[in-house]
Amino acid sequence: MENNNGFIFKLSQSKKIDILKSFEIDSQRLISSTQIVLQKRNYWTEGKNDSINFNYSPKYTTHSGKNGIEGMKVFRQGFFEFKKTHEEKIELNSHINLIPLISLAALTFLFSCLIGLLSSSINGKIGFIVFGLALFGFIIILGRQTIKYKISSIIKEVMNTQPNIE
């Protein structure tokens, strides 16, 4: 089953795992473990035969100082899919939507350009545009690395949290 959630910009990763009993039993274990790990991290999950969709909705509150941080979380939506390979392994593919990351980087760039437009000198305007482009690239690179790290930590935790399904 090919799960294509319509992500225009996505980050995909893959990991191969040895089959211990059978594809059906081991994939169900992995699906259950993945759902448990994602739900512990406050993600909404929906399991299907060979994939899991997950989504994180920022929780805004009026009484905490976390509102700014909640809106800037870029690891929000994606899916994991489990496929049997011809080498008798399970291929775990993750696909993460990068639109929240790109949106955050683009808003930062636009804010820098706006400040540059308010500058009186042409050098100040060019400087803020260049700064905004550099900041855009830095946010994209740092965000991708952060997402890769989070996916790796989820997969590592999944491998350590194998419920018994027989």
Q: Is residue 89 part of a domain?
A: yes
Each residue's pLDDT tens digit, 2-53:
445 666 787 888 888 877 777 888 888 888 888 888 888 888 888 888 888 8
Mean pLDDT of all residues in 54-75: 67
What pLDDT is stored for residue 1 in this prediction? 35
Each residue's pLDDT tens digit, 72-125:
666 778 888 888 888 888 888 888 888 888 988 999 999 988 888 887 788 878
Q: Is residue 17 part of a domain?
A: yes
- Listing DSSP states for 89-131 in one string gives EEEEEEEEE-HHHHHHHHHHHHHHHHHHHH-SSHHHHHHHHHH
CATH classification of the domain holding 45? 3.30.310
* Torsions phi, psi for 98 (to 5 deg): -100, 5
Report the number of distinct structural domains present in the chain. Answer: 1
> Nearest Cα to 48, choosing from 67, 38, 35?
35
Range of the domain at 113: 10-160
pLDDT greater at residue 92 or residue 71 = 92
What pLDDT is stored for residue 3 in this prediction? 45
Q: Is residue 31 part of a domain?
A: yes
Q: Is residue 130 part of a domain?
A: yes
Supply 3's token pair: 């799960």
pLDDT greater at residue 166 or residue 130 = 130
Residues contacting 142, CB < 8 A, separation 6+? none
Q: Is residue 5 part of a domain?
A: no
**Is the pLDDT score of 63 beyond 80?**
no
Q: Is residue 127 part of a domain?
A: yes
Say whether 39 sits in a helix, a strand or coil: helix
- Residue 60: which pLDDT band, with cuts at 50, 70 and 90? low
Q: Is residue 93 part of a domain?
A: yes
Q: Is residue 25 part of a domain?
A: yes
